[in-house]
Amino acid sequence: MTRGSRQVHLDVHAKVAWSALVSPERHRWYYRLTPDGEFAEGSTIRWLDAGGAAAEESEIVEVKAPKRLVMHTRYLYSAAFAKQPPHTLTWEVARAGKGCRVRMSWDANEVVAGLLESEADNILQGLRVEHDPAAQAEIARLPTIGEITVHDVTPERLADYLAFFDHDAFRDYPGWQSCYCMETHRTQTDEEWAVRTADDNRRDMSKGITGGTVTGLLAYVDGKAVGWSNYGETTRLNGVMHRFGLNAAEQRGVGSLACFVIAAPYRHHGVAAALLDAALERLRARGVRVAEAYPARKQDSPQGNYRGPLQMFLRAGFEPYRETDRHLIVRKTL
């Protein structure tokens, strides 16, 4: 078994942090899961996702409000983790100056410990963003921004890509901090994909950029990367093909706008639209005949727009093509 821990400081009273840990409401900071059950010793909590499926199950071992919560937990959202034995997860809250310190500790086997080592800081930062006014001020939308410029993500711009995803891309929702947009290019089975860490995705996307297999764009304002788009010929985007069950023969001559990520302070200033225009221009120059995009049918958060908002595509001349369970596939002839 492997032990580890992480901690974060919050500029709020310890009771506020404790309430966030044991609230019966949806825990947006904790992957948007809702606890079903009572935070009482001997009780069982089922952590439900937005669709009502159990993503985790926890036996409450110890509760000492407002200081300490101990759980034996199993992750159920993936077969790779569901077959692992329960791990011990401990939350501790202590006063620290005018605020508090929240510590997350674990005792887990190698598979689960690897996940927690990768995700613990993101979880704690999510708690801070949701409940600490100072953190919320750090990501507030800017009233105005400078001129937007868009550049291809060449090997020379790898450092800008890494800085964007390391620090800015998901600062308002750290639960997605590990992705690095690798999902667009995944070749692994679902079980293999589930155990990948942030380091795995960062490394492999860096290789793709330096090797020229990733066609991405960065949007800049005042010399700083503030937005990203992952696009390309659909048959070369394995993650898109897998996610939407696409047939390679039907996708010949089609290009996909797979992903848009805009740093929180720069949203609603036209950054995504600038990235879309640049991606369409590049697809057209490569002889791609049709552009395809995958906006979500229902939005419940800014992050839910990572495929790009429907209205942006409609304004750009896209038209509905077909529907999936969660997305509307739209197309535009180039």
**CATH number of domain containing 218:** 3.40.630.30
Q: Exposed, middle or buried, 211 (CB in 10 Å: 0-12/13-18/19+)? A: exposed
- Which of 117, 119, 66, 111 is CA-nearest to residue 91? 66
**Tokens coding 234:** 């659909």
Which pairing describes strands 216-221 and 54-64: parallel, antiparallel, or unpaired? Answer: unpaired
Pair (73, 161) in one structural domain: no
Pair (66, 121) in one structural domain: yes
Quote the CA–CA distance of 139 and 135 in Å, as a whole number.
Answer: 7
Q: Which amino acid is at 258?
A: A
111 contacts 81 by C-beta, under 8 angstroms:
yes
237 contacts 254 by C-beta, under 8 angstroms:
no
Q: Which helix (H) or strand (E) holds 123?
A: helix 110-131
Residue 272's CB is within 10 A of a number of other CB atoms, namely: 23
Q: What is the CA radius of gyration of the chain?
A: 21
Looking at the DSSP bridge assignments, the partners of residue 259 are 230
Quote the CA–CA distance of 148 and 223 in Å, as a whole number.
Answer: 9
The CA angle 34-37-43, to the nearest 5 degrees, is 135
Pair (217, 266) in one structural domain: yes
Q: Sign of the CA dihedral 267, 270, 271, 272? A: positive
Q: Which amino acid is at 128?
A: R
Task: Determine the pLDDT at residue 231.
Answer: 97
Pair (244, 125) in one structural domain: no
Pair (245, 291) in one structural domain: yes
297 contacts 262 by C-beta, under 8 angstroms:
no
Pair (124, 148) in one structural domain: no
**CATH number of domain containing 88:** 3.30.530.20
H helix and E strand count, the chain: 10, 14
Write out the residue range of the structural domain in which residue 269 sits. Answer: 142-333
Pair (132, 149) in one structural domain: no
Pair (196, 155) in one structural domain: yes
Pair (158, 278) in one structural domain: yes
Residue at a domain's end among 89, 121, 137? 137
Residue at a domain's end among 76, 103, 137? 137
pTM for the structure as a whole: 0.92
Burial letters 136-145, b for 16+ CB under 10 A, else e: eeeeeeeeee
To the nearest 10°, the Cα dihedral for 187, 33, 13, 42?
-120
- Each of the 334 residues of the chain gets a pLDDT tens digit; together they read 899 999 999 999 999 999 999 999 999 999 999 999 999 999 999 999 988 999 999 999 999 999 999 999 999 999 999 999 999 999 999 999 999 999 999 999 999 999 999 999 999 999 999 999 999 999 999 999 999 999 999 999 999 999 999 999 999 999 999 999 999 998 888 778 888 999 999 999 999 999 999 999 999 999 999 999 999 999 999 999 999 999 999 999 999 999 999 999 999 999 999 999 999 999 999 999 999 999 998 876 777 789 999 999 999 999 999 998 889 999 999 9
**What number of residues does the chain have?**
334
Pair (133, 148) in one structural domain: no
